[in-house]
Structure 1
Amino acid sequence: MPIHQPQQRTDVHPGRTGVQQAEAALVEHYPRLVRLAYVVLPPALGRHRRVLAAHAVVQRALPAAGDRARSPRVPAQSHRSGAPVDAEPAPEGAGPDRGPSGAAYGWMRLRVLRTALAHERRPRWWPGRLPAPAALRPAVPVVWGLRLFPRAGGVDELTLDRALSTVPGAVRAAFALQLLEGLDESGARDLLAGAGVADPAGAVRRAARLGMPDRAGAQAMLRSGEFDPCTVQTRPSDLLRRRHRVRAVAAAAALCVVAGGLVVAVGEGTRPTGDDRNPAVAAVPALDPAGLLRTAAERWADTSRVDFTAWPARGGRTGDGELLGRALRAWSGPPDSVRVTTAPGTVVAPPVEPPRLLFAGEVDGAAVVLFHDSGDRVVRYAEPLSGSGGAALDFARTDDANVTTGAAVVVSRTGDSARFLLAPWIEESTTRDLLAPGTPARPLAVGPDGVTAPAPRPAANGACDSWPVLQLRSSGKIVEKHAFLVTDLGDLAPAHLTYTPKPGRGAPARQPREATGGEALLAWARTACSLRTLSGSGVRAVNNWAFAEQKLPEGGASAGWLCTRADTWRGPGRVLVHFLEPAGSPTDPAAVVADRDDTALCSRFGQHVLAGTHWKAPSGRWYVLAAGSRAVTRIEATGAVRGAAGGPTFAVRAPRDAAVELTASLRGGETLAAVR
């Protein structure tokens, strides 16, 4: 559904030539400016709100005709940098930065850029989605009853969008200015500096790493429908909820009429003071307990979207308006007495639309409330039932959660145990220890409200002598006999654990599978303790990929190579490469030989890997060992030791501390460097 461009104004005073040219530039290049704003705005807003915010940013960029302080002086600007200067307009020429309206376009672009970047600098307590000065004017555009989404792109566009969501707005702006606006690095730096970016050079450097090595492909993706907020698809909002709201508004209007009559009859009366009423909160419908979304109890069994939106409201205090009101007010602006924790990359701004109520009840001496926000966040509020302790507010991202990553949420942690609220589709819950792969899972009791009995959780410090996990099984209404593992890594949502077995001879590449089989449990028994390094980093899922098996020198047994990849909710991944030499115990920890942050290695977007390590044979001799994934056809060592071998594994005699560079040749002719 195209969003029509605003019609050109006709009421501008003839003397305000600068405003007229700015308006002409806005109308002429409206889709281009809106796309720029859409890319720069925080993806955490959600696609619907980002579409509306992009149009609002551009439409509000035009100053009023009589506003001399913000009206352009017909500025000219450098084509290279886009920085406005007080000079005559640039001469006629090609491109939006030249011609009679070119200088005005550059001026409008700078205003759009400033406003879009200000979204990430707004105060945490500000209820609107625009900076304070702009938010005082009427919001445009306004859409009722519809959700707007740009046209869906392919896997590459989705990957680029997720990559952009992991970097600050200044980096997104630098990326867009170069690929959408055609500015060089110097021009992008100058324009970012004019927009108030603290480190424009750093933003340009980070932007250069996005979309590499195929910049042309990244440019095409950025110009695709995935990033076009002017051509959108529509879906209705919650129709039943809207009907209930209309009835509630009608009832509230009738009550207001009655209350107004009583006020006139008895006088002004007593006005609320202090904290009895917060005008800022009362003015935001999303913070009204009566407006909370509630899902029907059996909705999960009759929907294709099996995630947090299918969770019903559970717990003994779902009807406690006072508790829900305190939780929402704490969310809107936490006082100093409330302890706030945030998973990396999670927005803590108040909700713009009514959140969904997942749980409200009493757990382990605290009143706990769980919300799910339309911006793909889960928020937990907890206040003690007795004593002088303060309340707690926890935020976590839950983008694109599914049957497994949306299966449980932590409601309480006490000592070395935790309680979880399970998804309504979980039919069976057990616990097991990853460091005891041969021990059967133990049943875990679950209450009528979906809250589990206390389950052991991994110790944060000390010896790693156990690693408890939950083994859950989905209802047959969702998928038949689907069991999976999740583990508590310190965030609200536990991480999903999977396993990819070693490649077969001549067989297609394996896909990740649930880590409940014997081979998967043995692999996790040797790598579970490395999960400690991922605690509190917002991990969504962790996969163990057995990418190679190697025969050791001097007639030794076989060793294994594992790539442990942790994917976060915000997009970036971390990779640990493990070397599993023969061990006397199935739980002897594997050696970590490589550790890489912010990488696509060992994922569907990084399917090739090469790693190496020094190894001491039983004879006392030292070797350099290396192994690659199934597409590796040759491995070569240079540096202190030289050698080469065909195939995916390699071994050469070398001193203990020899500095060796490893490279591999792939089946398609590409070259691969070893991960460090």
Structure 2
Amino acid sequence: MQSQDVARRPAPSSPAGPVVEVEQAEAALVEHYPRLVRIAYLVLPSRMGRCRRVLTAHSLTQRALPRARTPAPAIPSRPAGRDGDPGYALVRLQVVRTALEAGLPLRRRAWPKRAQLPSPLPQVWGLKLFPRSGGADELALDQRLSALSGPARAACVLRGLERLPDGDVREVLTAAGVADADAALAEADRGGAEHRLLDSAEFDPCSLQARPTDLLRRRRRLNATLVAGAALAVCGALLGPPGDGWGPDGAAAPPYARNPAAQAALDPGRLTRVSPTAWRTSARVDFSVWPARGDLTDDTALLRRALAVWARPGGSVQVSATPGTPSGGPAGPPQLLYAGTVDNARVVILHDGLRIARYAEPADGTRGAALDFARVDGAGRAGSSAVVLGRTDGNVRYLTAPWVRGAGERDLREPGAAATDIALTGGVTPPLPSPALTSGPCTSWNVLQLTDGTGTRLVTDLGELVPAGLTAGRPGAAEAAAGAEALRTWAPFACSLRAVRSAGVRSVNAWAFAEQPLPDAGGSAAWVCTRAETWRGGGARVLAQFHTPGGRFGAVTARAEDVPACGAREPRVLAGVLWKSGAGTWYLLAAGSRDTVSVRATGGVEGSARGRLLTVRAEQGARADLKGTLEDGRTVSGLR
């Protein structure tokens, strides 16, 4: 839309005013820098994201300084303190012009304008910067501004922030290259913006909050770079010397011969598309019977780009994969699960039998495309009930399986509260708060509740393509965590799910393996073991947790990785904790699963007990080794 409202070349300035020296323009820019950056930030489109808008606004403002003496536009700069300053009017016009240009979509047959290119400065590595959040009024204003075209947003800013009358606004827009300033003013009138809120902290790109970027993704990229560098060095050493190297290739094809299977995998016309009713009669109920959904399933160009990027992602593509997931191209034509518009992006979801691949590109081009992979081999009905379509502004959208009949949202921290029903549009949920994207205090943990013909299940977003299923009960007999007792078991330990984010988790089970009376009339405490199983089989993460009466959260007493404890192969566990009673006395408390016949503590604390519970007085900070004896005579060590 903006490409029709803003002229291809900047229009000539309005009738020239006094000549502005470079020093005078610099003084105005430095003095009014916060306001000029705010103007640029408000005019830039919200689809850029808050961090990119902040950096772009600072970049455009710093580049607004003219290179030589320049005639100032004959447009007054109205607000107090800047009235009649031709230097300010000049740099403000340049800021508005470049901000409008930066919001234009790139054209295939035209050179990009300088404002449309990313600036080398400023750059902040490892941090995301964004203004402080405002209230509901500021959020509503931001949404109204994002619905306007660039010229209309500029009109709102010049009216509300600069207090310019419509005649002066029209002159500034025309000088900035807007083809139809009257239409921009009319659109701004329809937008109904609250001008008084434009001065709020919500829109101040000079007062910022900082958060880290995706730490795990950053680490994986660094590791991948190091591995690729090492592999390149090895290949160079092997291929460098003259001779046959590894020896003749025998019957292998020449290195650059075309592979028909690989070529077929890149043909969008050969994508596998499943009937919408195939899941009703299929012996398998998993991703292989998902039909192709979305409003862009017939967009051949989009599907071709998705397949090409999967086979050979370019240097600008952000590629991520859950641990243990190969990221190479498909061996043959994959299955199309979804192709459609999700918020401000075009998304394609593909399945090759082993992996889910998600390709996403901005709605206005391909710059900034992303490719994500997740293993889903062996997924059954429960494991293939939903897949993540996209995340934005702390929210997540899911595409649910065709057999899902109803969906709801519930807070795992509030087991007594009923689930809130949510509407599914073509199997797609509305944006839901994602606990995987929060970094502050854990006050809630929202999960997705799905109902089909076989029961109700809970899944949670852990920052990956496929949400993890939640179960509760003894390993080997665990059930979906949708019942009242299972919800009560999970409530104190929901926030511990943060420990297994971005780890390729398939499901997490909570097992209440013991209940222990507390000394000094402290009531009764619960022992729960949570085990996160991964799609790759190995690397399971186990937490032993302890919850006392009245406590909002459980305490992690032990953790281990890639051990059989708390799992179907080894449904037993032993764990201990130092606990201080209300009377101020310290105790070593230990508990084992129900087949434990005795528990013994050695080291910093000495004691033993028949049965599976141990309570021994101890000193603060003491450390002990735990050993349990099972009914069959075997021993089990305390989880560490």
Instruction: Give the TM-score category using the shorter length.
Output: 0.5 to 0.7
Equivalent of 2:531, from 547, 565, 570?
Answer: 565
Aligned to 1:345: 324
After superposition, give the CA deviation of every residue in 1:98-154 in whole Å (9 maximum; x if it has no partner). xxxxxxxxxxxxxxxxxxxx9x9799xxxxxxx999989448xxxxxxxxxxxxxxx
Aligned to 1:146: none
Amino acid at match of 1:620: G
Is 2:471 the counterpart of 1:498?
yes
Alignment of 1:74-223 (within 5 A): 137-138=251-252
1:188-587 equivalences in 2 (<5 Å): 284-374=263-353, 376-386=354-364, 389-448=367-426, 450-458=427-435, 459-474=437-452, 476=453, 479=454, 482-500=455-473, 511-572=477-538, 573-583=540-550
Question: Match of 1:530, as an amino acid?
Answer: S
State the distance in 1 between where 2:501 and 2:555 align: 19
Give me the whole-angstrom Cα distance separating, in 2, the residues matched to 1:673 and 1:372.
Answer: 42
- Supply the distance in 2 between the matched residues of 1:639 and 1:447 (Cα, whole angstroms): 60
Partner residue in 1 for 2:143: none
Q: Equivalent residue for 1:188?
A: none
3-state secondary structure, aligned to 1:546: strand
Distance 2:397 2:385 in 1: 13
Counterpart residue type for residue 499 of structure 1: A
Residue 510 of structure 1: CA displacement?
Answer: 7.3
Equivalent pair of 2:476/2:567 in contact (CA under 8 Å) = no
Q: Following the alignment from structure 2 to structure 1, what is the Cα–Cα distance between the partners of residues 348 and 476?
A: 41
Q: Deviations over 1:162-204 (max 9, x none)?
A: xxxxxxxxxxxxxxxxxxxxxxxxxxxxxxxxxxxxxxxxxxx
Is the 2:261–2:332 Cα contact (8 Å) retained in structure 1? no
Cα shift readout 1:196-247 (whole Å, capped 9, x = no counterpart): xxxxxxxxxxxxxxxxxxxxxxxxxxxxxxxxxxxxxxxxxxxxxxxxxxxx
Equivalent position amino acid for 2:524 in 1 = S
The change in CA–CA distance for 1:134 and 1:443 in structure 2 (over 3 A counts) is farther
How far apart in 2 are the matches of 1:298 and 1:388?
34
Change (3 A) 1:121 1:409: farther
Structure-2 separation of matches of 1:133 and 1:321 = 43
Q: Does the Cα contact within 8 Å between 2:394 and 2:438 map onto a contact in 1? A: no
CA distance in 2, matches of 1:661, 1:418: 44
Query: In structure 2, what residue type is equivalent to 1:534?
Result: V
Matched, 1:608 2:572: yes
4+ runs deviating over 3 angstroms? 120-123, 131-139, 278-283
Match in the other structure for 2:626: 662
Aligned to 1:636: 600
- Partners of 1:431 and 1:441 within 8 A in 2: yes
Whether the 8 Å CA contact 2:262–2:330 is kept in 1: the answer is no
Give the distance between the partners of 1:300 and 1:132, measured in 2 at CA.
Answer: 49
CA distance in 1, matches of 2:429, 2:288: 21
Q: 1:122–1:132: 8 Å Cα contact kept in structure 2?
A: no
**How far is 1:283 from its partner?**
5.9
Deviations 1:569-599 (A, max 9, x none): 1112100100011115xxx110000010111
Write the distance in 2 (CA, Å) between the matches of 1:470 and 1:537: 19
Deviation at 1:554, TM superposition (A): 2.4
Give the Å deviation of 1:352: 0.9
Q: Could you give the per-residue CA deviations for residues 240-268 of structure 1, whole angstroms, max 9, x where no partner exists?
A: xxxxxxxxxxxxxxxxxxxxxxxxxxxxx
**Cα shift readout 1:317-361 (whole Å, capped 9, x = no counterpart):** 111111111000000010012111111110011111211110111
Tell me the secondary structure at the aligned position of residue 599 of structure 1.
coil
Helix, strand or coil at the partner of 1:371: strand
> How many pairs were matched up?
396
> Cα distance 1:485–1:654, how it changes in 2: closer, same or farther (>3 A)?
same
**Counterpart Cα distance in 2 of 1:314 and 1:335:** 27
User: Which residue of structure 2 aligns with residue 228 of structure 1?
Assistant: none
Q: CA deviation at 1:416?
A: 1.5
Comparing 453-462 with 533-542, which one deviates more in the overlay? Answer: 453-462
Q: Secondary structure at the match of 1:405?
A: coil
For 2:351 and 2:276, the matched residues in 1 are separated by 16
Task: Give aligned-pair identity as a percent.
Answer: 47
Residue 280 of structure 1: CA displacement?
7.7
Q: Look up the match of 1:625.
A: 589
* Pairwise CA distance, 1:659: 2.0
Cα displacement (A) at 1:519: 2.0
Q: Distance in 2 between matches of 1:122 and 1:354?
A: 30
Structure 1 contact 426–473 (Cα < 8 Å) conserved: yes
| One-letter amino acid matched to 1:576 | L
Contact 1:485–1:496 (CA under 8 A) maintained in structure 2: yes
Point out where structure 2 has 5 or more consecutive residues left out of the alignment: 1-227, 234-244
SS in 1 for 2:466: coil
Alignment root-mean-square deviation, CA: 2.5
- Kept in 2: contact 1:471–1:486 (CA 8 A): yes
Is the CA contact (8 Å cut-off) linking 2:476 and 2:568 kept in structure 1? no
1:593 aligned residue (552, 557, 560): 557
SS in 1 for 2:336: strand
The whole-number CA distance in structure 2 between the counterparts of 1:427 and 1:336 is 41
Judged with a 3 Å threshold, the aligned counterparts in structure 2 of structure 1 residues 422 and 660 are, in CA distance, closer, same or farther, namely same
Task: Work out the CA distance in 2 between the residues paired with 1:667 and 1:393.
Answer: 51
- 1:134 & 1:604 partners in 2: Cα distance? 49
Alpha carbons 1:470, 1:487 under 8 Å: kept: yes
Partner amino acid, structure 2, of 1:611: A
Letter in 2 for 1:496: G
Does the residue aligned with 1:516 lie in a helix, a strand or coil? Answer: coil
Residue 510 to residue 344, structure 1, CA distance change in 2 (3 Å): closer
Q: Is the 8 Å Cα contact of residues 337 and 349 (structure 2) preserved in structure 1?
A: yes
Letter of the 2:450 counterpart: L
SS of the residue aligned with 1:284?
A: helix
- Work out the CA distance in 2 between the residues paired with 1:122 and 1:290: 35
1:471 corresponds to which letter in structure 2? Answer: Q
Which residue identity does 2:525 align to in structure 1? A
Aligned-partner residue type, residue 451 of structure 1: V
Q: Please give the secondary structure, in 1, of the residue aligned with 2:447.
A: strand
Cα distance in 1 between the residues matched to 2:266 and 2:562: 36
Partner of 1:28: none
Alpha-carbon distance in 1 for matches of 2:288, 2:250: 33
Counterparts of 2:392 and 2:517, CA distance in 1:
46
Cα deviations by residue, 1:389-418 (Å, 9 ceiling, x for unpaired): 411100010011111110000011111111
Following superposition, the deviation at residue 556 of structure 1 comes to 2.8
Match of 2:405, SS state, is: strand
CA distance in 2, matches of 1:288, 1:537: 33
Instruction: Return closer, same or farther for 1:417/1:283 CA change in 2, 3 Å cut-off.
Output: closer
SS class of match (1:464): coil
